[in-house]
């Protein structure tokens, strides 16, 4: 029963984020993508509600949290205007087979999770215990963090709060629901890529590469699965979406979610903002995208600073050991082999080379920036080999994901997605805007 | 046109290779293949991890442990450099107790109970409480 309720808690998350369905550019998406976007938004809503309750000294309980989330879901559904847009374009012939392949790869990941082949060690000695202690304290308790025996004291709270929500609903901590959240977020990630790219074959490649990456990196129960969903939403929106408002909204949602999910989420958000500035040359969008992420990470840093809990974030002040650079690069290259001679990377690069590289500039830029940020993290330790070997298989999933999205975007078959508002960026009214094949996406 | 064909061929080949590699890895991690395992760590490596036994032992010991006692989880074979992930695992598995780091050289810091994974824990201040298939529970003598 604990596990059933624990999983139910995750399945209910999209309901708390269903408010995003009010947005016209979300409403025109297929149902799978809408649920995926609501999952990301809902994860952020759940985390924000639980954090706010803690700040207001409202003790978490099943009654309190369920009531708040039901009210949020009910208000969101009630305010949702009736759909009046055309349905998504029908599936092209021959794509069904690729979609079936994608589902098979997802089922394989689900199998790996259900048989404890992809469980993250950090779940049982970091994320899980912290969530359990928070639930027993009735909220984010600085006293729990003051006595926390690891450096992860000030780690961003979203993943811990999702686990705590599941724990609150189920009564006891469900370790199985914690790991099963991974395939759920993975499915949402694939739905987002499939919808925006409309490329079943490209999505199949992403599914295969990430299924293998998950099998090697053990992310189930850790923060990477939700992080990858947030990152996918930001990268894919900036790559495939033609509606400028939609691009900005989704990039902001992805960046905001990422900064509250992992330490590396902040460097991802910075990479997104830099990419918007350099590749899209859009200062206004960069500022709007950065704002929610900055507010969220600023709030968290204020909380941990005010309570004297700054540990990991203080790493920014640590000395840089440039002499470790060759070791860092060598060790990272070894891990990036993915036990398959770098195949996932090579395939992504080959597929980009076979298409139009300019279309993939946004994801390529983010892949390069996040890869550089990973190296930058690791050269802060005098002897980083163990640290790299234990953490980087999961950390490098971010640049790999970005590169894979680039591989999808580079294809000639992939069309931009989106309805441009009437009388604005295009001459058409509600007409789908196709891309200029030679121009990078996202510069409408 | 040839590029799109080449792309298709490359992706098909990659997907087949990645799918085969994933299936092979799951098989390499060992069986049983169609049972929900006892713990979330049961099949993360072909050899059973001590951390999986830490989970099972914590579950077995929990009903025997009084509330709020100081307890730690160790693999005696690793003495004196115990893997900290074992007692940190206890942190989540034993929320009603006070799980602490294994310190046996300072009487004030010594835990009331020790959950020992595989092998016996030899220490003059502790006596065996009960034996489990995966290890044992020791209590401090007063």
How would you write chain A as a 3-class SS string? CHHHHHHHHHHHHHHHCHHHHHCHHHHCCCHHHHHHHHHHHHHHHHHHHHHHHHHCCCCCCHHHHHHHHHHHHHHHHHHCCCCCCCCCCCCCCCHHHHHHHHHHHHHHHHHHHHCCCCECHHHHHHHHHHHHHHHHHCCCCHHHHHCCCCHHHHCCCHHHHHHHHHHHHHCCCCHHHHHHHHHHHHHHHHHHHHHHHCCHHHHHHHHHHHHHHHHHHCCECCCHHHHHHHHHHHHHHHHHECCHHHHHHHHHHHHHHHHCCCHHHHHHHHHHHHHHHHHHCCHHHHHHHHHHHHHHHHHHHHHHHHCCCCCHHHHHHCCCCHHHHHHHHHHHHHHHCCCCCCHHHHHHHHHHHHCCHHHHHHHHHHHHHHHHHHHHHHCCCCCCHHHHHHHHHHHCHHHHHHHHHHHHHCCCCCCCECECCCCCCCCCCCCECCCCCCCCCCCC
B108 inside 8 A of chain A by CB: no
In the prediction, which pLDDT does A158 show?
A: 98
A347·B10 Cβ contact <8 A: yes
A310 inside 8 A of chain B by CB: no
In the prediction, which pLDDT does A315 show?
A: 75
B 4-63 near A (Cβ less than 8 A) = 4, 6-8, 10-11, 14-15, 17-19, 21-23, 25-26, 29, 33-37, 39-44, 51, 55
- Cβ contacts below 8 Å, chain A against chain B, sum to 136
**A443 belongs to a structural domain:** no
Supply the range of the domain harboring residue A344: 2-79+99-417+428-435
Cβ-nearest to B14 among A136, A218, A343: A343
Instruction: Name A3's Cβ contacts closer than 8 Å, sequence gap at least 6.
Output: A170, A174, A176, A177
Question: What is the domain count for chain A?
Answer: 1
- Residue B140 confidence class, pLDDT cut points 50, 70, 90: very high
Nearest residue in chain A measured CA to CA from B14? A347
The predicted model gives B107-131 an average pLDDT of: 93
**A388 belongs to a structural domain:** yes
- Residue B137 confidence class, pLDDT cut points 50, 70, 90: very high
The predicted model gives B9-30 an average pLDDT of: 98
In the prediction, which pLDDT does A312 show?
A: 83
Best residue in B7, B54, B83 to probe A by mutation, most A CBs within 10 Å?
B7
A 24-83 near B (Cβ less than 8 A) = none
In the prediction, which pLDDT does A362 show?
A: 97
Please tell me the distance in Å from B26's CA to the nearest CA on chain A: 7
**A92 belongs to a structural domain:** no
**A87 belongs to a structural domain:** no
All residues of chain B having their beta carbon less than 8 Å from the beta carbon of residue A100 are none
- Residue B22 confidence class, pLDDT cut points 50, 70, 90: very high
All residues of chain B having their beta carbon less than 8 Å from the beta carbon of residue A340 are 17-18, 21
B15·A204 Cβ contact <8 A: yes
The model's pTM is 0.92
**A310 belongs to a structural domain:** yes
All residues of chain B having their beta carbon less than 8 Å from the beta carbon of residue A121 are 41, 44, 51, 85
B43·A221 Cβ contact <8 A: no
B40·A123 Cβ contact <8 A: yes
Predicted confidence (pLDDT) at residue B44 exceeds the cutoff of 60 = yes
Residue predicted with more confidence, B109 or A430: B109
**A323 belongs to a structural domain:** yes
Please tell me the distance in Å from B124's CA to the nearest CA on chain A: 27
In the prediction, which pLDDT does A68 show?
A: 96
A212·B10 Cβ contact <8 A: no
In the prediction, which pLDDT does A150 show?
A: 81
Please tell me the distance in Å from B5's CA to the nearest CA on chain A: 10
Cβ-nearest to A149 among B33, B44, B88: B88
Please tell me the distance in Å from B2's CA to the nearest CA on chain A: 9
Tens of pLDDT along chain A (444 residues)? Answer: 889 999 999 999 999 999 999 999 999 999 999 999 999 999 999 999 999 999 999 999 999 999 999 999 999 887 655 554 554 554 555 689 999 999 999 999 999 999 999 999 999 989 999 999 999 999 999 999 998 888 888 999 999 999 999 999 999 999 999 999 999 999 999 999 999 999 999 999 999 999 999 999 999 999 999 999 999 999 999 999 999 999 999 999 999 999 999 999 999 999 999 999 999 999 999 999 999 999 999 999 999 999 998 888 887 778 999 999 999 999 999 999 999 999 999 999 999 999 999 999 999 999 999 999 999 999 998 999 999 998 999 999 999 999 999 999 998 777 655 544 444 443 332 333 444 443 444 332
Nearest residue in chain B measured CA to CA from A109? B22
Between CA A318 and CA A305 the distance in angstroms is 17
B17·A343 Cβ contact <8 A: yes
A126 inside 8 A of chain B by CB: yes
Distances (CA, A) of A219 to A124, A334, B40, B103: 12, 19, 12, 32
A 87-116 near B (Cβ less than 8 A) = 101, 104-105, 108, 111-112, 114-116
Pick the closest to residue A106 from A16, A49, A36 (CA basis).
A36
Pick the closest to residue A27 from A430, A313, A348, A380 (CA basis).
A430
In the prediction, which pLDDT does A296 show?
A: 98
Predicted confidence (pLDDT) at residue B73 exceeds the cutoff of 80 = yes
């Amino acid at each position: 029963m604990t596990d059933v309720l624990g999983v139910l808690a995750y399945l209910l998350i999209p309901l708390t984020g269903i408010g995003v369905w009010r947005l016209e550019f979300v409403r025109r998406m297929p149902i799978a993508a809408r649920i995926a976007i609501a999952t990301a938004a809902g994860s952020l809503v759940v985390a924000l509600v639980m954090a706010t309750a803690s700040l207001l000294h409202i003790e978490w309980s099943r009654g309190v949290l369920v009531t708040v989330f039901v009210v949020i879901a009910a208000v969101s559904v009630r305010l949702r205007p009736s759909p009046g847009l055309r349905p998504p374009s029908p599936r092209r012939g021959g794509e069904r087979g690729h979609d079936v392949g994608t589902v098979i790869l997802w089922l394989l990941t689900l199998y790996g999770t259900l048989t404890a082949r992809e469980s993250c060690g950090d779940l049982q000695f970091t994320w899980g215990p912290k969530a359990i202690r928070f639930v027993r304290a009735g909220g984010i308790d600085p006293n729990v963090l003051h006595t926390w025996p690891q450096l992860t004291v000030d780690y961003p709270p979203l993943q811990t709060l999702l686990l705590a929500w599941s724990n609150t609903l189920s009564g006891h901590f469900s370790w199985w629901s914690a790991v099963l959240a991974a395939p759920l977020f993975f499915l949402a990630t694939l739905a987002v890529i499939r919808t925006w790219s409309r490329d079943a074959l490209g999505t199949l490649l992403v599914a295969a590469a990430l299924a293998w990456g998950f099998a090697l990196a053990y992310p189930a129960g850790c923060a990477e699965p939700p992080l990858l969903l947030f990152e996918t939403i930001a990268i894919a929106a900036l790559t495939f979406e033609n509606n400028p408002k939609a691009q900005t909204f989704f990039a902001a949602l992805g960046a905001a979610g990422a900064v509250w999910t992992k330490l590396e989420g902040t460097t991802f958000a910075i990479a997104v903002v830099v990419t918007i500035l350099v590749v899209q040359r859009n200062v206004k969008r960069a500022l709007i995208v950065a704002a929610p992420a900055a507010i969220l990470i600023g709030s968290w840093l204020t909380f941990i600073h005010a309570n004297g809990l700054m540990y990991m974030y203080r790493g920014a002040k640590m000395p840089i050991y440039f002499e470790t650079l060759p070791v860092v690069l060598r060790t990272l290259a070894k891990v990036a082999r993915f036990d398959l001679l770098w195949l996932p990377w090579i395939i992504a690069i080959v597929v980009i080379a076979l298409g139009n590289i300019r279309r993939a500039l946004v994801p390529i830029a983010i892949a390069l920036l996040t890869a550089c940020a990973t190296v930058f993290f690791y050269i802060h330790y005098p002897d980083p080999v163990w640290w790299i070997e234990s953490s980087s298989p999961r950390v490098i999933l971010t640049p790999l994901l970005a590169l894979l999205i680039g591989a999808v975007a580079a294809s000639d078959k992939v069309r931009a997605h989106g309805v441009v508002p009437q009388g604005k960026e295009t001459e058409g009214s509600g007409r789908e805007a196709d891309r200029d094949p030679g121009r990078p996406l996202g510069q409408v | 046109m040839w590029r799109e064909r080449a792309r298709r061929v490359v992706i098909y080949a990659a997907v087949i290779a990645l799918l085969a590699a994933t299936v092979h890895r799951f098989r390499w991690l060992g069986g049983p293949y169609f049972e929900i395992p006892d713990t979330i760590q049961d099949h993360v490596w072909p050899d059973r991890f001590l951390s999986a036994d830490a989970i099972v032992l914590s579950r077995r010991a929990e009903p025997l442990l009084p509330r709020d006692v100081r307890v730690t989880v160790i693999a005696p074979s690793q003495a004196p450099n115990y893997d900290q992930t074992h007692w940190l695992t206890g942190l989540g598995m034993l929320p009603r107790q006070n799980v602490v780091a294994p310190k046996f050289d300072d009487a004030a810091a010594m835990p009331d109970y020790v959950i020992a994974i595989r092998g016996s824990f030899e220490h003059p201040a502790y006596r065996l409480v009960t034996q489990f298939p995966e290890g044992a529970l020791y209590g401090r003598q007063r």
